């Protein structure tokens, strides 16, 4: 039996076999990492070089309701995670913190205590957002009243709480502003002053009808737009280039033929975008019946769209041919297991398409679809995929 303890930047291992002389693995190395590279991806909280199939380290995040959301500072020197602690493990007095990790050591460099209100949920986009000027971090709260806690990451202090009734999740829209999705299909725009205090809250026009076709909450940022896919395969855009968000034109990710064949947009992390090329990657599957929650179902294909022409330019099978995994079953938090649940695209001139598919993490060239690694050997088998976009 192998017993291992993972620490930031350190692997300590010991092989223990009952009834035999104890033998020890050699000690791992403790290293200082350079500035994060484009091909470094967090699989939940494990940092992996997906190009070279190399495990780089682990950030020590509290396992009590981890949010799995990670925000990078613009210079790549720090990353931010929200944690919840209880004095008696899973009960007792509660403390919520914004924890700051140094990306060179993966060790904690600071923490900021915030109100014990942050939303406790499975991984989802929008649980925290860093303003475009790299100054204020907003944490989404759900008690069940909705609000955001604003933190100044420069002074490392809690600024205050802003009530946002009827509106949930939080997305950065500028140097001093956020947007939130409201239950009636509106957007709430929240503006801050230079000290992080609330200046105004305004609602936009309705940009989707929740009674007819609700949107999926995992949006992706493409330059000055946020993109969201609906249950029915409509891509909605929000232009955040101005002082307040503006609803953009919507268009369908599904052709008439796709709809006749019952293709649907699915997966837990269904959208990813390569900024330089303007390629959008989407998880899709055929399913005869409408899905109560598309996040429970993997995409069996990965589609690629040119955002300039709005044309689909590529279709890829989500599972490698060598994959022999079966459906994941009905465990809490599990997906169908017959495709990819999460996708992400690295940035730069040679982007890689990374997917949590079946029994492991697959990596392929984003433009050609050719596999670089059908299965990473030095990474967790699945998880939320995070990387540095800016």
Residue 9 has pLDDT above 50, yes or no: no
Predicted confidence (pLDDT) at residue 217 exceeds the cutoff of 70: yes
Which residue ranges form the domains of the chain, and what is each CATH number?
A: 1-30 (no CATH), 257-390 (2.130.10.10)
As a whole number, the mean pLDDT across the chain is 88
What is d(CA 122, CA 107) in angstroms, rounded to the nearest whole number?
24
Residue 314: the pLDDT is 96
Q: How confident is the model at residue 2 (pLDDT cuts 50, 70, 90)?
A: very low
| Residues above pLDDT 70, as percent of the chain | 88
The length of the chain, given as a count of residues: 390
Confidence label for 330 from pLDDT (cuts 50, 70 and 90): very low
CA distance 113 to 326: 43
Asked if the bond preceding 144 is cis, omega within 30° of 0, the reply is yes
Question: Residue 64: its pLDDT value, please?
Answer: 67
pLDDT per residue as tens digits for the range 331-389: 445 677 889 999 999 999 999 999 999 889 999 999 999 999 999 999 999 999 999 88
Q: What pLDDT sits at residue 378?
A: 95
Q: pTM for the whole thing?
A: 0.89
Q: At 322, is the pLDDT very low, low, confident or very high (cuts 50, 70, 90)?
A: confident
DSSP, collapsed to helix, strand or coil, labels residue 133 as: coil
* pLDDT digits 0-9 by tens, 249-281: 999 999 999 999 999 999 999 999 999 999 999
Please give the C-alpha separations between residue 11 and each of 8, 29, 60, 325, 326, in angstroms, as whole numbers: 8, 7, 13, 29, 31
Mean pLDDT confidence for 116-136: 92
Find all residues with CB under 8 Å of 332, minimum gap 6, and list them: none
Task: Tell me how far apart the alpha carbons of residues 337 and 356 are, in angstroms, rounded to a whole number.
Answer: 10
């Amino acid at each position: 039996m192998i017993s291992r303890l993972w620490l930031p930047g350190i692997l300590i291992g010991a092989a223990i076999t009952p009834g035999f002389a104890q033998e020890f693995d050699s000690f791992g190395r403790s290293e200082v990492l350079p500035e994060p590279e484009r091909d470094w991806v967090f699989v939940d909280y494990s940092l992996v070089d997906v190009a070279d199939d190399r495990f780089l380290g682990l950030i020590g995040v509290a396992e009590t309701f981890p949010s799995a959301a990670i925000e990078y500072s613009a210079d790549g020197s720090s990353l931010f995670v929200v944690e919840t602690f209880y004095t008696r493990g899973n009960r007792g007095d509660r403390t919520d913190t914004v924890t700051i990790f140094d990306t060179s050591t993966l060790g904690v460099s600071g923490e900021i205590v915030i109100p014990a209100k942050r939303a406790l949920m499975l991984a989802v986009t929008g649980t925290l957002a860093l303003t475009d000027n790299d100054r204020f971090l907003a944490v989404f709260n759900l008690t069940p009243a909705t609000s955001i806690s604003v933190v100044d990451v420069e002074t490392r202090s809690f600024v205050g709480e802003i009530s946002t009734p009827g509106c949930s999740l939080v997305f950065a829209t500028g140097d001093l502003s956020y947007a939130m999705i409201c239950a009636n299909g509106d957007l709430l725009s929240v503006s801050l002053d230079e000290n992080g205090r609330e200046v105004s809250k305004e609602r936009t026009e309705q940009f989707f009808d929740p009674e007819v076709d609700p949107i999926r909450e995992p949006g992706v940022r493409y330059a000055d737009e946020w993109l969201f896919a609906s249950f029915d395969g409509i891509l909605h855009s929000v232009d955040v280039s101005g002082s307040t968000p503006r609803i953009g034109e919507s268009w369908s990710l599904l052709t008439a033929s796709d709809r006749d064949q019952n293709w649907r947009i699915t997966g837990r992390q269904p959208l990813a975008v390569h900024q330089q090329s303007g390629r959008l990657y989407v998880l899709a599957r055929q399913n005869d019946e409408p899905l109560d929650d598309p996040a429970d179902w993997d995409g069996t294909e990965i589609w690629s769209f040119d955002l300039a022409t709005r044309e689909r330019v590529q279709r890829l099978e989500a599972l490698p041919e060598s994959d022999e995994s079966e459906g994941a079953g009905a465990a809490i938090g599990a997906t169908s297991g017959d495709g990819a649940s999460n996708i992400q695209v690295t940035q730069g001139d040679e982007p890689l398409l990374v997917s949590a598919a079946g029994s492991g993490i697959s990596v392929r060239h984003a433009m050609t679809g050719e596999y670089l690694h059908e299965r990473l050997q030095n990474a967790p088998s699945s998880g939320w995929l995070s990387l540095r976009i800016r």
